[in-house]
């Protein structure tokens, strides 16, 4: 599988820094999200290649690891990251907790707000890819896991997935966000809410 380009450094504005890393055989995206003022940060999906993730976190105060859902390609580096950052909580939705390896993760509820320095990340429960799929939103940015990609929703195959449910999640949780919200998905390149929203009916009609 050919990899999408990986930025050399940070995507930066005055309030947030985002670093995307492409890792593992499924070209997963893992994101370091940091407050430039305080150096506090979270890792979104400890997917794979622990050494690269830990290098990207070096020098930051890691306050949490956020897991978008329980599929194994999104947590292969979790044990190593936990070992290097002892005591840092690993957060996922309760409906997916049984999909992760021990020790247990901490459940995060829909609507919960995680403070990362001056940043506020809000957990959005977006079932459909898995029962406990989450997106994490902060003004201007959405970390969508496998719920939303450029060109459509994530796979919604039974028994864990459900297509009408993922369409409803997009309609009610993701697409109310402003058009210029940058979407960072769990695989592939970024997009925006304004680019994807007009195609919702098309996706619903095609059934995937």
Q: Are 132 and 96 in contact (CB under 8 A)?
A: yes
Enter the CATH code of domain 11-206: 3.60.15.10
Q: Are 109 and 95 in contact (CB under 8 A)?
A: no
Q: Are 137 and 113 in contact (CB under 8 A)?
A: no
Which two three-digit tokens encode residue 77? 């580096």
Q: Are 97 and 70 in contact (CB under 8 A)?
A: yes
**Segment 163-190, tens digit of pLDDT:** 999 999 999 999 999 999 999 999 999 9
Residues 6+ apart with CB under 8 A from 144: 68, 126, 135, 174, 183, 184, 185, 186
pLDDT tens per residue across all 208 residues of the chain = 344 445 556 777 778 999 999 999 999 999 999 999 999 999 999 999 999 999 999 999 999 999 999 999 999 999 999 999 999 999 999 999 999 999 999 999 999 999 999 999 999 999 999 999 999 999 999 999 999 999 999 999 999 999 999 999 999 999 999 999 999 999 999 999 999 999 999 999 999 9
Spans of all domains in the chain: 11-206
3-state secondary structure of 131: coil
Closest CA to 141 of 92, 186, 168, 180: 180
Q: How far is the C-alpha of 35 from the C-alpha of 192, rounded, in Å? A: 21
The pair phi, psi for residue 81, each rounded to 5°, is -65, -40
* Full-model pTM: 0.94
């Amino acid at each position: 599988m050919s990899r999408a380009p990986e930025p050399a450094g940070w995507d930066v504005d005055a309030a947030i820094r985002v670093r995307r890393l492409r890792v593992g055989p499924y070209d997963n995206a893992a994101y370091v999200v940091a407050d430039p003022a305080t150096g506090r940060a979270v890792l979104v999906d400890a997917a794979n290649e622990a050494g690269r993730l830990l290098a990207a976190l070096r020098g930051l105060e890691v306050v949490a690891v956020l897991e978008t859902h329980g599929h194994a390609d999104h947590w292969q580096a979790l044990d190593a990251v936990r070992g290097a950052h002892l005591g840092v909580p690993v957060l996922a939705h309760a409906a997916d907790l049984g999909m992760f390896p021990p020790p247990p993760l901490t459940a995060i509820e829909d609507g919960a707000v995680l403070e990362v320095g001056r940043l506020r990340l809000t957990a959005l429960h977006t079932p459909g890819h898995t029962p406990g799929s989450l997106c994490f939103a902060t003004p201007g940015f959405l970390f969508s896991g496998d719920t939303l990609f450029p060109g459509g929703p994530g796979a919604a195959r039974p028994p864990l997935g459900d297509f009408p449910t993922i369409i409803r999640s997009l309609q009610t949780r993701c697409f109310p966000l402003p058009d210029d919200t940058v979407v960072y998905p769990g695989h592939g390149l970024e997009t925006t809410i304004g680019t994807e929203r007009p195609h919702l009916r098309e996706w619903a009609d095609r059934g995937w």
